[in-house]
Chains A and B, each alone.
Chain A
Amino acid sequence: MIILGIYVGIFVASYFIIGKLVSAARGSDYTSLKTVTFGDESTVRPNRWAGIISVLTIFLLWAMFTGSSLIPRFLHAPGPFEGETSFTYTVSANGQTDDATVTAIVHDREEDPDLPEIDPGDGIAKNDIIKVAQWRNQLVQFDRNDEVKRADGAEIIAINGQMVSPGDEVQVNGGSVTISDKGTPNFEPSRGWQMEPLYLPSPEAVVERTWKVANEGFRGTSLFGHLGWSLFRVIAGFVCGAIVGIPLGYAMGLSDWFRGWFDPIVEFMRPVPPLALIPLVIIWAGIGEAGKIILLFLAALWIMAIAARSGVSGVKISKVHAAYSLGASKWQIMRHVIIPNSLPEIFTGARVAMGVCWGTVVAAELVAAEKGAGMMIMVASKFQNTDIVLLGIILIGVIGFGIDMLMRAAERMLVPWKGKG
């Protein structure tokens, strides 16, 4: 809730601030001169400032709530308590009562400080000292050094002078104390608002881990090896799918027999998500490379076949007629009219297929693999290496985005006539 609040706050605040700052610098191109902008989609161009601030905000929030050293301390969300604190407990036994102090040393999880000697004090209850790691809690065996034991009927009746009974919770300096059902106080240092590194490591920890994994590898394969294997599977599956799917689509677009034969198969297989095929493919082909490439082949096949088919049916009949009356043979019409005319559709299909394949390969690797980006994050999650999980997710996203950008660039270069017919 707090995070959402801050996010919305930054969204609104930066809108007004940037609006004030940039309003003077309005462009003078044609679109900027349009007065009707609300409802005219063509005038809605992504605001570059909003894009930059949006990305920065995500990193800022991430850094704030993980206590990152990349941003100044005053921006941090309140962190977990660290250092020394104390509370007193009151023991009552055999009609006697006495106070003692528990000193708690809250330390970083990575450290293990030595406990200093303390003065035990007077009375039947003696002072204690405990150490607690951040985000953890610690039972206080208060009667360990007391003159009265719980077995003798000693029980805690107050914490910091506040009357308690089992199940109660008392706020103390730097945390809270809960009385367990058996009457033992349990000290839990305050967690603050930051995320525990186990759940969300700080950005620098992820970067550091990236370097480490990039240099040392993960599970016997280098980072680039994992990503490379995933990419290789995608490309191999996609190429196989395209090699079979495109001619199949052409045949379906050009012959009634092919159309009739394959229509039911394609129309049935198209809505089946490739992920649903994973179990069957594993049963048939095992969890090795063959199984994964078959899966990706199946994911790409139908998309490419449908793209090629609609590319063929998208040919304007007047173009085909024109080519015939210019003396072209069937083969020449295929080569010079149908194929170039269907290329834009095929590129669109290829972009979709690459996206689906990339998603499918990660999912397939999550299920079973020895190498690959999906396997990396799956294994890391089992060992609670959240930083590797995050690193994997980020790299998977970056690569998926990169693939799409490459496909778009290739499309612009190879089929400049797209949408111009």
Chain B
Amino acid sequence: MTGLNIENLSMRFDLPGGGSVQALKDVSIDLKAGELLSVLGPSGCGKTTLLNIVAGFLAPSGGVMTLNGHKITGPDAERGMVFQQGALFEWMSVRENVGFGPSMKGMPKNEKREIVDHLLDVVGLQDFKEKAVYELSGGMQQRVALARCLANDPDVILMDEPLGALDALTREKMQSLVLKLWKETGKTIILITHSVEEALLLGERLIVMAPRPGRIHKEYRLPFAELGVNADLREVKKHPDFAVKREEILNMIWDMEEEIMGTAEADA
């Protein structure tokens, strides 16, 4: 049994002042090996909580998660994570950052160097490998983060809005890179984003979540990621279906936001 299996995941925790929060309720996802899933939703819908639970940083209050048949209980090298920003180790050079996972495993030096060199080639940072990470631009830093994650050869890559802090142009380039890496490495990827376009472009599958409690609202299976592997992403966006889906999802999220505002006003 391969792939990531999430069954009836719930997350409920008590607040210090009394009362409790239902962050996630009955979330079930079945992800086959090599699938690319993007998770979209308004803020507060529990998407980051979901990712943290899958990564093993949080224990769910209910439900079961298995990866390739065994239960997920804590963080592990089989599930790599790419953070939004600031998760690189600034006391290490680019090369040392990328080689961090292999070093921790005690991999022999020459083997490690091969992996690191290869990945730096893939993300286009071969010329920067001796630089300190704080000397790189935001986009380059995220490439390092991607390479660092891949160097560990995880089964699943979890991305928590990895491109959220980048400018539009860099972001587009990085989106292409993510698709390329997905196709080349065949990794299972879960990508959290708040950008509808990004979710559509990078999601072979797309889950829209709804807040209060965080739950799966709607699920899509999309052709755009497959198209984007070989074509310019701007061409993909011109696809007639793309605009239709974007409108549909935007409206869906608008409705959710309005509902939240409505209840907030009613509360007040």
> A interface vs B, CB < 8 Å?
316, 318-319, 321-329, 332, 336-337, 340-341, 343, 415-417, 420-421
Contact = CB atoms under 8 A, between A and B. Distances in A.
Contacts of A321: 55, 57, 75, 81, 83, 87
A319 B75 contact: no
Nearest to B74: A324
Contacts of A327: 76-77, 101, 104-105, 152
Given A316-B87, A325-B76, 8 more contacts: A318-B83, A325-B158, A326-B77, A326-B104, A327-B76, A336-B100, A341-B89, A417-B90
Contact of A326 (B57, B80, B84): B80
A324 B83 CA distance: 13
Contact of A322 (B83, B90, B91, B134): B83
Q: Which 5 A-B pairs have the closest CB atoms?
A: A327-B77, A420-B134, A324-B75, A340-B91, A318-B87
Nearest to B135: A420
Contacts of A343: 91
Interface string B53-79: 001110000000000000000111101
B148 interface: yes
B154 to A, nearest CB: 8
Given A327-B104, A417-B132, A322 B152 contact: no
B132 A416 contact: yes
Interface in B148-167: 148-149, 152, 154, 158
A345 to B, nearest CB: 13
Interface string B35-61: 000000000000000000001110000
Nearest to B83: A318
Contacts of B86: 316, 318-319, 421
B148 A326 contact: yes
A65 to B, nearest CB: 52
B80 A340 contact: no
Interface size class of B (residues with CB under 8 A): 20 to 34
Contacts of B154: 325
Given A326-B148, A416-B132, A340 B89 contact: yes
11 contacts: A316-B86, A319-B88, A319-B89, A324-B56, A325-B75, A325-B76, A325-B79, A325-B81, A327-B104, A336-B89, A421-B86
Given A321-B83, A327-B152, A332 B89 contact: no
Contacts of B152: 326-327
A418 to B, nearest CB: 9
A280 to B, nearest CB: 41
A338 to B, nearest CB: 11
A343 B90 CA distance: 12
A417 B80 CA distance: 25
Nearest to B84: A318
Contacts of B77: 325-327
A346 to B, nearest CB: 13
Interface string B151-185: 01010001000000000000000000000000000
B3 to A, nearest CB: 19
Contact of B100 (A323, A415, A416): A323
B115 to A, nearest CB: 13
A340 B149 CA distance: 21
Contacts of A417: 90-91, 132, 134
A117 to B, nearest CB: 87
